[in-house]
Structure 1
Amino acid sequence: MSSDFQVGRVALGVRLRELRADAGLNGKGMAERLGWQRSKVSRLENGKQTATADDLDAWALAAGVPGEAADLKSRLRGLESQQRSWRRQLASGHRAVQEKYVAAYRDTSAVRGYEATVVPGLFQTPRYARHLLVHNAELMRSPRDTDEAVRARMNRQQVLHEPGRAFRVLVWEGVLYARFCPREVMAGQLDRLVGVIGASTAGGGVSLGVVPFSAQLTLSPKHGFWIFDEERVVVETINTEFQLEAADDVALYGRVWDRLDESAVHGARAHRLVARARAALHVA
């Protein structure tokens, strides 16, 4: 459990204790009013147990301040959204971050992802990945461990071939044209995507779709995100990685993915979009 999470849980417990005391109740009285064991009240107030939304509704009602439930649940959502600074994560270079993702994918059975600006790491070629990692190291002023980071990113791709896993990935068509590397490197990357699309049409655990520029959308493409086992969402910004675990947040991102998928094309139609972008490079 992260220290930030525990600090937040203790702070929530302090607030619960304040509401209970303001109601003129001791721990035993609060437990009786709630119909709980006294030990549960103690664990919640001392940050030893994470409250549920229903717990917080009941607590506010028992304390005579039902209007406080919204604030309490907001604090709970704050616990379930973990923020990790890239500056801290990259303090020793990119390799450790890539290895963290390898472990995350190996602990996951079903992944839904969407990227709006870059080819997903699961499908990157080594040369494409190298250019991205070099650019990011320069931007973040982090240590250069590019060779090790590229190898770790390629190791992550091994999960694509493991049985019992499902990867359903979407990309915005702009990804096919955003060049962070020389033309010939981008051409090789697009060739790799053709292979991924071919594999997805042949069946198996990997599916890649493209949201075309011409698609009729019901929402704007916005930022990329990844949903792991319908339990956790990872969102990357320029300076921070957010891990969202609140059920409402996971459900929201699931609905966004569903809407994007409704506008996406797969199979031969996706292949034509990649081929068009490949032709625009004018590389043999």
Structure 2
Amino acid sequence: MSTTDFQRAREDLGRRLRELRTESPLGRLTGTTLAAKLGWPQSKVSKLENGRQTPSADDLRAWVDATGYPEAYEELHARLRGFESHIRSWRRQLARGHRPVQETWATITDEARDLYVFDSFVVNGLLQTPDYARAVFEHYSTLQNSPRDTEDAVRARMDRQRWLYRPGNRLHLLLWEGALHARVAPPQVLTAQLDRLMGAVGMDTVDLGIVPLDAVLSLPPANAFWIFDERLVITEDWHAELYLDDAHTVALYRRVFDTLHASAVYGAEAQRAISRVRRSLGPTAGERTP
């Protein structure tokens, strides 16, 4: 979590603590009175309420009991646990363009041996062609109004793909078929990208599954996510990436992956699914209709 995001979350929690104190059903409590009830120095109450100190779970329990709001503990504790969810806004990350973001991802990826990934809107970056990656970066640079370092970003993304050729590494990748249909690039670029996926089906380090549009699903194909060695999850929204590293959340995402995995097709069936999408693009430059 960036310093700014962490501090904002801590200040929000502090304001909630102050609200419980000033609106106590036991009567309005001053900071000094509350500190005396808790046996704390008054400065601790002030620091917690002003976001200058992070409370412990025990601090929160004591606070809600002393202010007469024991039912508020779960809410406050959830906020505290939220500090474990690291928010990295795209605005700040892309201030210097896409290349630094790709380099950060390369570092995180290099530390992992097993990746469990679900992509629901574009082809995964580890299997993108340069032209497809270029189109994706251009779209996001326009959206975020970020510096256009497209060629540097494409080179950095291609460099990340060396991870696939290191012995012992394994990419467990699920792609929602809708991601293959997404016209984020010209037809000839999409055709080359689908050909790249066809070849990836047989790679020793890749376990590629396609979740067909007509698959029977136990869960809807929602947001994309990456699981790194079952210790870290990264998912994203339009405004930010979320880095999630608490064990409960990582386990939840792994259950989601396993559930979607059961609806996917593999091997020759995956290649047939990709071929169907490729044919839907029609003849492209350099091809003739038989």
Inter-partner Cα distance in structure 2 for 1:162 and 1:59: 52
1:26 is aligned, of 39, 44, 47, to 39
Q: Which of the residues 177, 182, 191 maps onto 2:181?
A: 177
Once the 2 structures are TM-superposed, how far is the Cα of residue 79 of structure 1 from its aligned partner?
0.6
Q: Secondary structure at the match of 2:214?
A: coil
Partner of 2:257: 257
**Following TM superposition, by how much is the alpha carbon of 1:95 offset from its aligned partner in structure 2, in angstroms?**
0.8
Matched residues in 2 for 1:247 and 1:177: separation? 34
Q: Which consecutive unaligned segments of at least 5 residues does structure 1 have?
A: 29-40
Alignment correspondent of 2:162: 158
Given candidates 78, 87, 94, the residue that maps to 1:90 is 94
TM-score, normalising length from structure 1?
A: 0.80
Give SS of 2:262's match. Answer: helix
Q: Distance in 2 between matches of 1:118 and 1:263?
A: 19
**1:120 equivalenced with 2:156 (yes/no):** no
User: 2-side partners of 1:127 and 1:224: how far apart?
Assistant: 22
Change (3 A) 1:136 1:61: closer
How many residue pairs align between the two structures?
265
Contact 2:118 2:173 (C-alpha < 8 Å) held by counterparts? yes
Measure, in 1, the Cα distance between the counterparts of 2:115 and 2:76.
Answer: 31
Which residue identity does 1:24 align to in structure 2? K
* 1:262-282: CA deviation from partner (whole Å, max 9, x where unpaired): 101111110110111122222
Q: Distance in 2 between matches of 1:24 and 1:224?
A: 48
Please state if 1:266 is matched with 2:266: yes
Q: Counterparts of 2:54 and 2:60 in 1: how far apart (Å)?
A: 16
Map residues 45-194 of structure 1 onto 2, 5 A cutoff.
51=56, 66-194=70-198
Q: Is the 8 A contact 1:86 1:240 kept in 2?
A: yes
Deviation at 1:59, TM superposition (A): 5.1
Aligned amino acid, residue 264 of structure 2: A
Q: Residues 56 and 270 of structure 1: is their aligned pair in 2 closer, same or farther, counting only changes over 3 Å? A: farther
**Matched letter for residue 277 of structure 2:** A
For residues 13 and 239 of structure 1, do their structure 2 counterparts lie closer, same or farther at Cα, with a shift above 3 Å needed?
closer
Give the equivalent residue in structure 2 for 1:195.
199
Question: C-alpha distance in 1, partners of 2:64/2:228?
Answer: 35
Deviation at 1:166, TM superposition (A): 2.5
Displacement, 1:97?
0.9
> Which residue does the alignment assign to 2:248?
248
Q: By how many angstroms is 1:89 displaced?
A: 1.2
1:277 — aligned with what? 277
- Rate the CA distance shift 1:59–1:208 in 2: closer, same or farther, 3 A: farther
Structure 1 residue identity aligned to 2:215: A
SS in 2 for 1:264: coil
Measured in 1, the distance between the counterparts of 2:117 and 2:85 equals 18
Q: Aligned letter for 1:214?
A: D
The 8 Å contact of residues 2 and 87 in structure 2, kept in 1 or not, is answered as: no
Query: Which 5+ residue runs of structure 2 have no aligned equivalent?
Result: 22-30
**Alpha-carbon distance, 1:170 to partner:** 0.4
Alpha-carbon shift at residue 250 of structure 1 (Å)? 2.1
RMSD of equivalent CA atoms: 3.1
Tell me the SS of whatever aligns to 1:24: helix
What TM-score comes out, normalization by structure 2 length? 0.79
Q: Deviations over 1:150-194 (max 9, x none)?
A: 000111111111233222110101112112111111111011101
What is the CA-CA distance between 1:48 and the residue it aligns to?
Answer: 7.2
